Every structure is written in C-alpha cells, then in structure tokens.
C-alpha cells in the first residue's frame, strides 16, 4: 500500500518568527509539510510551482500593493492553491478586497496560533474560514458600501485613505510630509495618488485637486 501524501502549506509573512512558529505548529499539530517562502513575487511563484501547496498563508504588512500583488500570484497560479490571509486589524487594506480576489480565509493577525491552525484545517477540508474579528470587519465594510450606494454619496470612488492623502496634497504638503502625517511610506502615498488620478481621470496633482474641489470631495475623509 502506497504511503499517503502529506498536504503542503507555504507560509509568507513579514515576521520570520511568526512564520517559523506557525510552520512548526502545522507540522506537529496538523501533520502537513510546512515551508516558508519569500515576499518577492517571482520567488513565491517559483516555490508554488516547486512545492504544489494546497494552502498558502499570506501575512499582510503595511503595503497594499505588495499584499494584493502576492495574493494574485497565489490565486492566479496553475496549482489551485487556496489562500489564507493574516490581516493586521490596523491595516488600511479591506478584508473585502481579498474576498473579491477569491481567498479562502481571512484571519486577524491578533488571532492566536491555535485559531490560525484551525482556520487552515478548515481550508484544507475545503471550507471557508473567518475569525470573529474579521467577520465583523467584513460585515462593517459591506454595510458601509451598501449605505454609501443607497445614499448616492459622490466620493469619486475614492477610499477613505485616498481622500485623506488628496486632502493633504490640496493643503500643499509634499509626499514626504503626507507620509509622515499619515504614518505611511512615501511610496504608499505615490500609489494612492496614482489611484486617485485614475479614478478621477486626471494626469497631474493640480488637476486632481481642482477636480476634487469642484466635486466637493475634499474634507469627506
């Protein structure tokens, strides 16, 4: 009789100690092959192809673009890996963003390792998993979206953080000062402004500020 094949789990987390602890617990408690991977997209894609993981655990740091980019690497691979996201409760990222991408589970980074392991067990069994904190957050996000749609608010489709960045830009602050004021990186400010330009259909900061002022968007944050 051929030996059973153990499931594989690939872990990507900005905190190596968290990744090592989770990998060890998964090996001991769940009996899977657990590996740690890099947060570089090309490395992650190669290791997904090498390890054929049933589940990829993605610990989300502060960078929105990096997190969503890594999530797409997982979900668009040919391996059919399911995605478990560990989301910082203080992150600007929306839990709904990952739901729309097709993840299998969103768990708070504040959850215990035992809770994370339980979620991974559920995903390995073909189920979806949300812990209580992320379920509440998702419901709140969806409630806000529905309420805004019902009220017909005109925010140009900008997120709360994009409105905050745009308002500070309108006050004349350069990217570095905007970043310091909002406690985010300068690259994140640039990414937010790039998104603002696309949503408002403009090409420059001045055009963005003028259009936002004309449409009454400034101060909505």
pLDDT in tens, 26-77: 999 899 999 998 888 899 999 999 999 999 999 886 566 678 888 888 888 8
Is the pLDDT score of 166 beyond 70?
Answer: yes
Q: State the pLDDT at residue 180.
A: 93
Sheet holding 8-12, edge to edge: 33-36, 8-12, 55-59, 82-87, 105-108, 129-130
17-26, 169-178, 180-189, 209-218: segment of lowest average pLDDT: 209-218
Query: Alpha-carbon distance 150 to 107, whole Å?
Result: 29
82-87 and 105-108 strand pairing: parallel
pTM (2 d.p.)? 0.60
Among 14-18, 66-70, 85-89, 95-99, the range scoring the smallest mean pLDDT is 95-99
Please, which residues bridge with residue 10 across strands?
Answer: 35, 56
pLDDT of residue 144: 63
Angle 19-23-25 (CA atoms, 0-180°, nearest 5)? 120
d(CA 23, CA 10): 9
- Could you tell me if 103 and 85 are in contact, meaning their C-beta atoms sit under 8 angstroms apart? yes
Question: At 1, is the pLDDT very low, low, confident or very high (cuts 50, 70, 90)?
Answer: very low
pLDDT in tens, 197-207: 988 888 888 88
Instruction: Say whether pLDDT at 220 is over 70.
Output: no
pLDDT score for 8:
92
The answer on pLDDT for 9 being more than 60 is: yes
Calculate ∠ Cα 21-75-191, nearest 5°: 90
Complete domains list, the chain, with CATH: 8-140 (3.40.50.2300), 160-214 (1.10.10.10)
């Amino acid at each position: 009789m051929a030996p059973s094949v153990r499931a594989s789990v690939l872990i990507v987390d900005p905190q190596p100690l968290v990744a090592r602890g989770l990998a060890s617990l998964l090996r001991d408690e769940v009996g899977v092959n657990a590996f740690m991977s890099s947060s570089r997209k090309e490395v992650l894609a190669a290791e997904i192809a090498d390890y054929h993981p049933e589940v990829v655990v993605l610990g989300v740091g502060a960078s929105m673009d990096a997190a969503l980019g890594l999530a797409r690497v997982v979900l668009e691979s040919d391996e059919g890996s399911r995605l478990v996201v560990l989301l910082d409760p203080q992150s600007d990222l929306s839990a709904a963003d990952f739901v729309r991408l097709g993840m299998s589970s969103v768990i708070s980074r504040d959850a215990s390792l035992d809770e994370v392991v339980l979620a991974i067990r559920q995903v390995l069994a073909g189920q979806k998993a949300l812990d209580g904190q992320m379920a509440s957050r998702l419901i709140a996000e969806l409630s806000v979206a529905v309420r805004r749609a019902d009220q017909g608010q005109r925010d140009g489709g900008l997120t709360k953080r994009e409105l905050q960045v745009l308002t500070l830009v309108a006050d004349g602050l350069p990217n570095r000062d905007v970043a310091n004021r909002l406690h985010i990186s300068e690259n994140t400010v640039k990414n937010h402004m790039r998104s603002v330009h696309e949503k408002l259909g403009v090409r420059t900061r001045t055009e963005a500020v003028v259009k936002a002022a004309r449409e009454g968007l400034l101060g909505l944050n």
